[in-house]
Amino acid sequence: MKWIIAILIFSLLILFHEFGHFLMARLNGVAVEEFSLGFGPRLLSAKRGETRYSLKLLLFGGSCRMRGMLGGTEDEDGNLSPEPGSFQAASAGQRAAIIFGGPFFNFLLAWICAVVVLAVVGYDPAVVTSVEDGSAAQQAGLKAGDTITSFMGRRVEIGRDVDTWFVFHDLSGGQNVTLTFKRDGQTHTVSYTPDVQRRYMLGLTYSVDGDRAEIQSVSVGSPLDKAGVRAGDVITAVDGTKITTAKSLYRYFQDHPLGQSSVKLTLSRGGRSWETDVKPLKRDDVRIGFGYNLGRTKTTAPQVIRLSFVELRYWIGTTLESIGALFTGRFGINDLSGPVGIVDVVGTTYEESRSDGALMTWMNMINLIILLSANLGVMNLLPIPALDGGRLLFLLIEAIRGKPVNPAVEASVETVVAVLLMLLMVYVMYHDVLTFVSP
């Protein structure tokens, strides 16, 4: 079932992307010769007007083939003469609009889905839920109920804005925590040095209120990360002690604090049980001294529309930060996921959502569409030849030079980069398969 759902989601993302190219081509007078879902041999096709609509064998892809995408016909002097109604006959601005149409429609799909999710289950207001007694945060004046509007210089509109900061950044001992919050209509800014607690850690987070001890996140480079444990795995035993709920896991660690000795974890992933020995890492734990909300709260219709743009901004920003983390070394190539990894995430999310009912299953699937669609839009706009962003880059060069780049040169560069991207995809898929088949 998870493969069917994953294929449907991929197909929806591709159709929206290619429809963006298709619509902008038609609006700018460019003929579309074929609009297809999938690659390879045609399974079904029908021609309407000048466009053939096709369903092809391999559904992980699609295309909008326009007339004269690369060049035109040569005249007696060897000069290219674009065909009327072809892509190359359009102005540079029209071509840019056609190319941008694909990623734009991915952002549009993400926004539409965000409206649905926000209307049904609400948003996660960035409210302080608790402040530790005697903590530096309490001494700085922070109270439960305060609404965070800025954290460490970053604008905050939803609770995940704070949560994501910790994904891409670390607090070190002696570094001040700076945040701005609203209380009773007044804005306050505080800065304090957080408390530091030396402890041993495995590198996981989980919700104490969960029905089972499901791992919500795994810190990059942590013992669990190195052991191949990932978000979505469920802890069922620790050192032979059966764990049935998240609270029982919490109580176990309260009664058996982590130390220098290795811990044997029994975990479940996709219905398979496996074990791993992990040695806790000694570290200085910087405690910010307060908890913040990540739960959903319903809101008004005007707020739903406004917050849907916030949601889109969040996922675009998170994708860009993830790309930046690859270059800074915080994330590595093995942290990338290809189709196999994404299908696994879709399947795991679907299976785990079924117990919460049909509504929550749908909401979680739509949330995945938001994430994947925004991600696809951003990735396609990267200035890499063979991607939409690469084509926009060539158009920028054309605008600067005052004449187009030689189509043969552009095609050669795109071919080389496409091969390199294909090799990267093969490696990522290989790593996904290894992770999928062997915990």
Write the DSSP string, 69-114. Answer: SS--EE-TTS-EEPPTTSTTTS-HHHHHHHHHHHHHHHHHHHHHHH
Tokens of 248: 């029982």
Average pLDDT estimate for 164-190: 90
Least Cα distance to 411 among 71, 144, 120 occurs for 71
Between 345 and 152, the higher pLDDT residue: 152
Judged against a pLDDT cut of 70, whether residue 436 lies above it is answered with: no
How high is the pLDDT of residue 343?
72
Statement to judge: residues 301 and 274 lie in one domain? no
How high is the pLDDT of residue 433?
59
Q: Could you tell me the CATH number of the domain that includes residue 263?
A: 2.30.42.10
Statement to judge: residues 311 and 268 lie in one domain? no
pLDDT band at 285 (very low <50, low <70, confident <90, very high): confident
Query: Domain for residue 148, yes or no?
Result: no
- Compute the mean pLDDT over every residue in the chain, rounded to the nearest whole number: 88
Statement to judge: residues 207 and 256 lie in one domain? yes
Average pLDDT estimate for 232-252: 92
Burial 389-409 (b: 16+ CB within 10 A, else e): bbbbbbbeebeeeeebeebee
Judged against a pLDDT cut of 60, whether residue 204 lies above it is answered with: yes
How high is the pLDDT of residue 79?
55
Between 90 and 438, the higher pLDDT residue: 90
Judged against a pLDDT cut of 90, whether residue 410 lies above it is answered with: no
How high is the pLDDT of residue 432?
61
pLDDT band at 99 (very low <50, low <70, confident <90, very high): very high
Domain count, the chain: 2
Give tens-digit pLDDT for 43-85: 999 999 899 999 998 777 788 999 987 655 545 544 556 788 8
Judged against a pLDDT cut of 60, whether residue 269 lies above it is answered with: yes
Statement to judge: residues 383 and 421 lie in one domain? yes
How high is the pLDDT of residue 27?
96
End-to-end CA distance of the chain: 21
Query: Does residue 127 contact residue 149 with C-beta atoms inside 8 Å?
Result: no
Q: Which helix (H) or strand (E) holds 192?
A: strand 186-192
How high is the pLDDT of residue 421?
79
How high is the pLDDT of residue 437?
52
Average pLDDT estimate for 19-46: 93
Query: Domain for residue 197, yes or no?
Result: no
Least Cα distance to 150 among 141, 161, 163, 139 occurs for 161
Query: Domain for residue 326, yes or no?
Result: yes
Query: Domain for residue 286, yes or no?
Result: no
Judged against a pLDDT cut of 70, whether residue 329 lies above it is answered with: yes
Last residue of a domain, one of 250, 279, 308: 279
Last residue of a domain, one of 279, 307, 324: 279
How high is the pLDDT of residue 420?
85
Statement to judge: residues 300 and 416 lie in one domain? yes
Query: Domain for residue 6, yes or no?
Result: yes
Query: Domain for residue 164, yes or no?
Result: no
How high is the pLDDT of residue 170?
82
Statement to judge: residues 257 and 357 lie in one domain? no
Statement to judge: residues 268 and 375 lie in one domain? no
Please give the residue range of the domain that contains residue 427: 1-123+296-439
CA distance 347 to 270: 8
How high is the pLDDT of residue 409?
84
Statement to judge: residues 274 and 307 lie in one domain? no
Statement to judge: residues 372 and 419 lie in one domain? yes
Q: Percentage of the chain surpassing pLDDT 90?
A: 55
- For residue 371, what are the CA distances in angstroms to 38, 62, 287, 315, 342? 21, 20, 30, 6, 11
Last residue of a domain, one of 247, 279, 311: 279
147-156, 187-196, 406-415: range with lowest mean pLDDT? 406-415
pLDDT band at 141 (very low <50, low <70, confident <90, very high): very high
Query: Domain for residue 169, yes or no?
Result: no
136-150, 198-212, 288-302, 422-436: range with lowest mean pLDDT? 422-436
CA distance 212 to 201: 20
What is the DSSP code (8-state) at residue 134? T
CA distance 110 to 123: 15
Statement to judge: residues 275 and 320 lie in one domain? no
Residue bearing tokens 């709260």: 297
CA distance 158 to 146: 13
Query: Domain for residue 145, yes or no?
Result: no
Q: Which residues contact 315 (CB under 8 A, 6 or more apart)?
A: 110, 370, 371, 374, 375
How high is the pLDDT of residue 20?
96
Give tens-digit pLDDT for 347-394: 778 877 888 888 988 999 999 999 999 999 999 999 998 899 999 999
Judged against a pLDDT cut of 80, whether residue 138 lies above it is answered with: yes
Judged against a pLDDT cut of 70, whether residue 173 lies above it is answered with: no
Statement to judge: residues 258 and 358 lie in one domain? no
Q: Determine phi and psi for 92, rounding to 5 degrees.
A: -60, -40
Statement to judge: residues 271 and 301 lie in one domain? no
